A and B are shown apart, each in its own frame.
Chain A
Amino acid sequence: MWELIALNRKKSIFVFFLMMVLLILMGAALGYTVSFWIEASSPVNASIIGGIGAFFVWLILSFVSYTMGNDIVIRASRATQITRESYPRLYNIVEEIKIAAMLPAMPEIYIMNDDALNAFATGMHPEKSAIIVTSGLAEVLSRDELQGVVAHEMSHILNRDTAFLTFAGIMLGTITVMADIVLRGTFFASRNRRSKMSSKNNSGGGNIIILLLIVVFAILAPFFAKIFYLSISRKREYLADATAVRLTRYPEGLASALEKISSSTTPVFAANTITAPMYIASPAGSNIEKEDLGSTHPPIVNRIRILRALQNGGGASYRDYQQAYSKYIEKGFANLIPESGLKENKPVIIRDASKEDKSFSQKKTKRDINDLFIADSGYVSIPCSCGLEIKAPAKFGVTDIQCPRCGKILTVPSITAKINKAAEKEEKRSFSSDEVLQYHRMHPGKWESVLCKCGAQLQLSPLFKSQYLVCKSCKRKIEII
């Protein structure tokens, strides 16, 4: 069933082709200006070559990102991969939705160390995909809410939005760069030609009009390409919400997750214009109530409104979502969900909330995630028989440690080779005094500890107001933001 929906999206494909027309025209315009620039004999041939060339540039870039796009995006977000052992809660939630969606392979799961509340998915095909969640989100959300968010991201993979948006994003990037070259190119061309024209006394009135048209086109094309791109992105968000509800059968989970996300104003550190539409909510954290041509996401209040209507109206099918959309958001708008999704006529019943939500403890998830990052940076955890767990850094250098609670002497296990390598790398990168570390203050007005690169821990008092801190052991400067 999901395959049918992924295939059936005429509107998005139409807009995609409009973008492609823009791309080829832009290429032709570039060819035309270049022909003036290098004084080629036939500007028409040059523009044909330019148009075809632009298409191939897009094709090659798309191919590159098809084969290795995942890794680039994940590496840029500096996320930590999790496994069933290191963080079972999130792993299990993703696996649950994977089963519901009948996805052929388990997506990779990453946690990004970022206090912003957001998540995104990447992956060119369902066989190889990844879901990235910020640590802030994983801490704050209850099981049902996290399930809703994961289902939304999984829907992007399932509906092939991630691939679609990447290809469209590359197109947008190519158009923008070419428009830039054209604008600069015409500037040079006109300057060169002015001197030649006067010497040859050659009338080029027609050409100048064409060049003027090209300049106007080069100014407008990136603008329109962006509008097209974002219009695809916005409609796909609603569809992903609808699919998520169909998968989890629990609209309230996603609704209250979105509510929590919208109440946070922290922007995502690693987001940019091209990756922004892949997030569950606008990573800039501004798009709560209004929608304009420049928004990457539909307003969160509208999304929540539809979801709540579903929760109270009693259905989780695509048809219910479409009805709620045309009732509350765009009166009478009928084309949000592809027809193959609407065919289903058996009612889809909403399930009840899971019980964990009542006893959900944010403290525990926070500690679990913190442990995850600590383990990832090479700390070893040493459990004491009294129940206390001591975490020793990778370069601790001491073999015995006394338990601070019961006084027992514990042996620090020898550290694995992988972690040693990480420690060595850190050692080799010799520290220069010009390098200023940055530290984002998490809880202003409270005690907080800062970990310097040399391994020393520094305490920030609640009254600390200065912008700089000097590490006591290595004398490095740390900027406090």
Chain B
Amino acid sequence: MAMLLVMFAFILFVVLIVIIWGVAIYNALVALRNRVKNGWSQIDVQLKRRHDLIPNLVETAKGYMQHEKETFIKVTEARAKAMGASSVKDASAAESELSGALAKLLLTVENYPELKANENFMALQEELTSTENKIAFARQSYNDETMFYNNKIEMFPSSIVAGMFNFKMADFFEIENKAEREAPKVSF
């Protein structure tokens, strides 16, 4: 009888430990998932900021750059496309296109010294350079967190808990084209 009681207590003890351990892993996973979400919202804020800056930039530059209509159209189109993207994967593709179009526009600015000396344009340029950097850094930290989170989901033993509660892997925010990856170089 006493033997049975001890056995019972032992089993109860083991079950309790397993439960506590499971809860700890679950909580860690939730915290990581929230960090990934937070990382994505950081990128989102900066992307929106860039979308807001582009009309201003186009407006300021238009007066000086009469012969670059096509470039402007491309930037505006890319912006509209990027604003419509909903998932991380779509956004990655659309934003890389926008980065490329912007980089091209800012490259042509080199030919217009009067525009480059415009105070308004200089302030916009600082904002845009910084926003590009912020996007790059936000992407960097988002991808770090995503890797951390995905590793945790894949690796044993946390993979058991992740499978039980249906934690899904997060997508990386990558910019595919190597040339477009250098978007932060929009200094003028």
Binding site for B on A (CB under 8 A): 1, 88-89, 92-93, 95-97, 99-102, 143, 247, 249, 346, 351-352, 354-357, 359
Contact = CB atoms under 8 A, between A and B. Distances in A.
Contacts of A143: 129, 187
B134 A354 contact: no
B184 A97 contact: no
Contact of A354 (B123, B141, B147, B185): B185
17 contacts: A1-B144, A88-B126, A88-B127, A88-B130, A92-B127, A92-B134, A95-B134, A96-B134, A97-B137, A100-B141, A102-B39, A143-B187, A351-B136, A354-B129, A354-B187, A355-B185, A357-B187
A99 B42 contact: yes
A95 B188 CA distance: 21
B141 A99 contact: yes
Interface string B94-107: 00000000000000
Contacts of B130: 88, 92-93, 95-96
Contacts of A247: 137
Interface in B40-84: 42, 46
Contacts of B144: 1
A116 B29 CA distance: 47
Contacts of B133: 92, 96, 354
Contacts of A249: 140
B91 interface: no
B24 to A, nearest CB: 15
Highest count of chain B CB atoms <10 Å: which of A88, A102, A351: A102
Contact of B185 (A88, A101, A346, A352): A352
Nearest to B147: A346
Size category of the B interface is 20 to 34
A101 B141 contact: yes
A95 B133 CA distance: 10
A247 B182 CA distance: 17
Nearest to B138: A99
A247 B145 CA distance: 13
B188 A355 contact: yes
Given A96-B130, A346-B147, A102 B141 contact: yes
A97 B127 CA distance: 15
Interface string B115-150: 000000001001101100110111011001101100
A351 B132 CA distance: 14
Nearest to B42: A99
B138 to A, nearest CB: 5
Contact of A89 (B126, B136, B140, B184): B126
Contacts of A95: 130, 134
A369 to B, nearest CB: 15
A134 B35 CA distance: 34
B137 A351 contact: no
A354 B182 CA distance: 9
A456 B123 CA distance: 34
B184 A354 contact: yes
Given A96-B130, A99-B42, A359 B188 contact: yes
Given A102-B38, A102-B42, A355-B187, 19 more contacts: A1-B144, A1-B148, A88-B126, A88-B130, A95-B134, A99-B42, A99-B46, A99-B134, A100-B141, A102-B35, A102-B39, A247-B137, A351-B184, A352-B185, A354-B185, A355-B185, A356-B188, A359-B187, A359-B188
Interface in B160-188: 182, 184-188
A85 to B, nearest CB: 10
Contacts of B39: 102
Contacts of A93: 130
A352 B180 CA distance: 12
A92 B129 CA distance: 9
A261 B41 CA distance: 37
Nearest to B38: A102
A407 B153 CA distance: 72
B137 to A, nearest CB: 4
Contacts of B184: 351, 354
A249 B133 CA distance: 12
A96 B138 CA distance: 8
9 interchain residue pairs of minimum CB distance: A356-B187, A92-B130, A100-B137, A355-B187, A355-B185, A99-B137, A96-B133, A99-B138, A102-B141
Given A92-B130, A96-B130, A346-B147, A355 B186 contact: yes
A102 B126 CA distance: 22
A109 to B, nearest CB: 14
A359 B113 CA distance: 13
A1 B187 CA distance: 31
A95 B136 CA distance: 12
A406 to B, nearest CB: 17
B187 A96 contact: no
